[in-house]
Each structure stands twice: as C-alpha cells, then as structure tokens.
Structure 1
C-alpha cells in the first residue's frame, strides 16, 4: 500500500483494533440544517471527546466545525450530493475533488452510489474516476453503496447488500459502507465477498439505543470493521456518552450490557 494512504487510513482506523467509528455529518446538504447540525463545533466536540475516529462532511462545512482545542479526529470529505427537494433524490453528482479534500487536510474522501437508480452509470463512473485520482495522491476512498431504484425490492436483502459491497471494492474503494442485513449470519456473506473493510450504515433514526448497540456488536461478529452512523449519534440525547459506549463495543470489547451501563452512568 502507498505509504501516504497507509498513514491516512491509520487516522481513520484504530491501529490496534483495525476498526473505526465514523460519524457522517453530511445530512445538511440532503435535508437541510436539522437538529444536531446547527452548532458544528459543539457537535464535533461531543463526537471527538467521546472517542470517535473520524467525521465525514462536505467541503464547505469543514471550516464551520474546525476546533482549536480538544482531541483530534480524522476527517473524510464527501464528494457527492443530492437533495430531497430534487425530483431525482437518488441521483448523486460529484460536488468536489480529491484536490479539494487535500487542501482541507482530509484523511480520506467518500463517494455515494445508489445501485439500481436510473443514473447508476454516472455514479459508477464518478466512483471509478475518483478512486483512480485518489490513488495518485495516496488518498483513501470510502464508497457508500446502497441499492435504491425501480428494480430494488429490498435494499437490505443479503445478496443485494453483498453486491453493493462488491461494486465498491471492485471500482477501487478502500472502505465500503453498506446497510446492515439484520443478523450476523447474513452479514457475514457480505464481508466474506470483499477484501477491504466494511462498515455499516445507521439507516433511519432508531428508537432503541440497545438496538443500535446490538446491531454494531453483531456486525463486528460477522466480520464488519466498524460503523459509519450519523443521525443516530448526532441527534442522540447525549452524543458524547453514546459515542463512548460505541467505542467500548468497537475498540474495547464491551458487551452490550456493559455499554448500556456505561451510557447510564
């Protein structure tokens, strides 16, 4: 591996556990300034102090969250976007470059692809080209790959999710982010089909913290390498404590029960 890429990956993935807690904060472009994404420095402080490894955001948001104190945290700059106001919300378009991310001091870039959408070919092209350019700079690429389109009956179907992960890997991603399939047995089929780290998405905001912690634990047991979860963290009642509980599970081998005790404490 290119030494620059290896060093950057170590800013996102814990060197000892080779796992990552990533908190996406890119939702403002998609749905607007929702709760948890108003005071970015406060949100970043909770996430960093809780022990997350990296945050993910669009290029224009980076200055809003820059802090001059507190623990450091990895930065992933997201390079594609769409909005819920569009008649084609699943059609992602590139809005930034690898060079933009380098200028911002990023440790990685990310690209979103919705398999099955009518504009799939454009998103696949964007991912492939971005991966090629990133390789020139030793910049890791995270591919968010979901199945969303007219032919998709169930985006959580294990075969469909495995296909999504495989697409991300084969087009050059260093990390792939996909939905959790619902149980360790089926998710193992996803992780077995790729040779790069797989992290799980959070999906819709969950009502149960225990359910979130269990999902993360089970994904790790199935070969997952961590999580990339946004609103279930930054919209939590106590984001710092939740990140700390997730850190216990991901990096310290806590059980769900231990994590819940820590959260309550």
Structure 2
C-alpha cells in the first residue's frame, strides 16, 4: 500500500537520514583515527590512539615517502590503474554492445559465460593464473599485469553495460547507418556517449579496486624491484620484530589521498550509473 500521509513520509525520511548519517560517521571513524595518528610520534600514538596530536608532526610523512619510494610507486600504480581501467571500459562496452544487439543463441551463451565467470572466486584461479603468466613470460612487467586486470574486470563491466545498451533506441543506430556511418563510427559517436554514466561508474569502481589491490601485483610483479605499487611498498613499513605504526599509517594516508581526490571528482556518476545499468 502506498503511504498517502505526507507527515508520515516526512518522519520516515528524517529517521532514515539520521540512521544513514550515524552509519556513515561510524564508517568514517577509521579514516579519522588514521589521519590524526599519522601526525603523532610513535610514543604518543601508543599512549592514546583516539586523542588529537599535541602538535602537528610531518616527519612521519617524510619517512613514509622515503621508505616506500612513494614517487616511483605512485607512477607505477597510476600507469597500471589508468590503462587497466580504460581498457576494461572500452573492451567491455564494445562487447556488451555486440552481445546486446546480436540476437542469437551464441551471443546469449557468451553472455552467460561472462556472467558465470563472475561467480568464480579469484583464489580458485590464482595459482593457474600465475603459472599461465609465467609460461607466457608476462610476469614482472606492466605490459603483463594490465591484460590480466582486463580479464578480471571485463565480465562484471559487460554484465553492467549489457542491460544499459538495451535501453538505447535502435532507431538512432539505424538513422546513422542510413547516413552511411560505419558500425565503429556509430558505436563510438552515438552509442558510447550515451553510456557515459554507467561507464563512469565502472571506471570509479575498477580504478579504486586496482589502485588498492595488493595480491595481484605481488603475484605478477614480485621479483622486479623497479615495479612496485603503493600497496606493495607499504609492506616495507612493517618489520619482522617491530613496526613503526605511525609511519605506516602516514603511508596509508598518502595512498588514500589519490583515491579520495578521484572519488570526489567522479562521485556524481555512481548512483546514476548503478541505477542505469542494474534495472534495465
């Protein structure tokens, strides 16, 4: 039954807003404590983890920058994240478009294979994946890890974009074809711009996941000291017997800053993209 009383709807809205605000604050608490403790010396942090620093100390960030070789690891992470995300969006959008527009049993079977692959946990294919990468001689290189990320993230992107493509009017493509437009020109000039919102959402989700990924770079890039992502270098801040938690937290905050900037810049596309791709 639809609620017709405006006052009751308003009350429910206020209660829901309060609950969501409280939940959001609890979720932000770990980030808040990480930031305030990144400015403390080790002794002060061990004394009280929840108190504000007695003074702002930037030495933790300077040491984390040096130990983690942040400048170099930042560019390695940026290159891997950028090319992996861009390739995933481009290839997945073309595949989703072709599968959605081709009404055959083969296209339906291929789409179901992509959907089924999403249910396979990464740890189940981790060892065979590394063995295959070694046989193909693509380990310890950026050129090797980027296609692996494409294979890992394209199935979900196809699943999201496939439903959205069905909502694009076919008349737009037919009109372009009558004007002599080629299939590639029709896709990139007419269809792909309409997929901007769900594509941007996928770009956000994939970029954040790849940027913060530790396991895949460790498996593929380990052995090459010149290719370490930010999560890989942060391990250097933890020793076998002692760990400088204040420096480690500063390193974590440094790695979080690019994610936060990217998220704030792209956040308006998240809700709209998820709705557009999930309910078609």
Give the TM-score normalised by the residue count of structure 1.
0.23
Greater length-normalized contact order (CA 8 Å, ≥ 6 residues apart)? 2
Which of the two has greater strand per residue? 1
Which of the two has greater helix per residue? 2
